[in-house]
Amino acid sequence: MKLLRHGRLGAEKPGALDANGQARDLSLLVPDFTPEWLTPAKLQAMAAIDLLRMPLVPAGERLGAPVAGTRQFIAIGLNYRKHALESGLEIPKEPVVFTKALTSIAGPDDDVELPAGSEAGDWEIELGFVIGTLARKVPVAQALSHVAGYCLANDVSERDWQIKRNGQWGKGKSFDGFGPIGPWLVTSDELPDPQNIALELAVNGQLKQHSNTADMIFPVAEIVSYLSQFMTLLPGDLVITGTPEGVGLGVKPTPVFLKRGDVMTLSAGPLGTQRQQVV
- Tell me how far apart the alpha carbons of residues 269 and 279 are, in angstroms, rounded to a whole number: 27
- Tell me how far apart the alpha carbons of residues 190 and 1 are, in angstroms, rounded to a whole number: 7
- Tell me how far apart the alpha carbons of residues 222 and 225 are, in angstroms, rounded to a whole number: 5
Please state the domain count of the chain.
1
- Tell me how far apart the alpha carbons of residues 89 and 83 are, in angstroms, rounded to a whole number: 9
Burial of 192 (0-12, 13-18, 19+ CB in 10 A): exposed
Give all strands (DSSP E) within 59-162, no chain letters. 63-64, 73-77, 96-99, 105-106, 121-122, 125-131, 147-154, 157-158
The answer as to whether 32 is a domain residue is no
How far is CA 118 from each of CA 32, 191, 257, 259, 279, rounded to the nearest angstrom? 35, 38, 10, 9, 11
Please tell me the predicted confidence (pLDDT) of residue 168: 86
The answer as to whether 29 is a domain residue is no
Beta carbons within 8 Å of 202's beta carbon, 6+ residues apart: 208, 264, 265, 266
- Tell me how far apart the alpha carbons of residues 257 and 234 are, in angstroms, rounded to a whole number: 35
The answer as to whether 46 is a domain residue is no
Q: Taking a C-beta distance cutoff of 8 angstroms, is the pair 235, 39 a contact?
A: yes
Q: What is the pTM of this model?
A: 0.97
The answer as to whether 186 is a domain residue is yes
The answer as to whether 25 is a domain residue is no
Peptide bond before residue 180 is cis, with ω within 30 degrees of 0: no
CATH number at residue 173: 3.90.850.10
- Tell me how far apart the alpha carbons of residues 170 and 36 are, in angstroms, rounded to a whole number: 28
Please tell me the predicted confidence (pLDDT) of residue 20: 96
The answer as to whether 35 is a domain residue is no
The answer as to whether 227 is a domain residue is yes
Helix ranges restricted to H, 9-158:
40-47, 81-86, 140-143
Rounded to the nearest 10°, the torsion over CA 141, 147, 201, 24 is 150
Please tell me the predicted confidence (pLDDT) of residue 258: 98
Q: Taking a C-beta distance cutoff of 8 angstroms, is the pair 207, 200 a contact?
A: yes
The answer as to whether 45 is a domain residue is no
Please tell me the predicted confidence (pLDDT) of residue 275: 98
Q: Taking a C-beta distance cutoff of 8 angstroms, is the pair 1, 16 a contact?
A: yes
pLDDT tens digits in sequence order for the chain, 279 residues long: 999 999 999 999 999 999 999 999 999 999 999 999 999 999 999 999 999 999 999 999 999 999 999 999 999 999 998 888 888 888 899 999 999 999 999 999 999 999 999 999 999 999 999 999 999 999 999 999 999 999 999 999 999 999 999 888 999 999 999 999 999 999 999 999 999 999 999 999 999 999 999 999 999 999 999 999 999 999 999 999 999 999 999 999 999 999 999 999 999 999 999 999 999
Please tell me the predicted confidence (pLDDT) of residue 82: 87
Smallest CA-to-CA distance from 126 within 235, 266, 265 is with 266
Residue 173 structural domain: 67-277
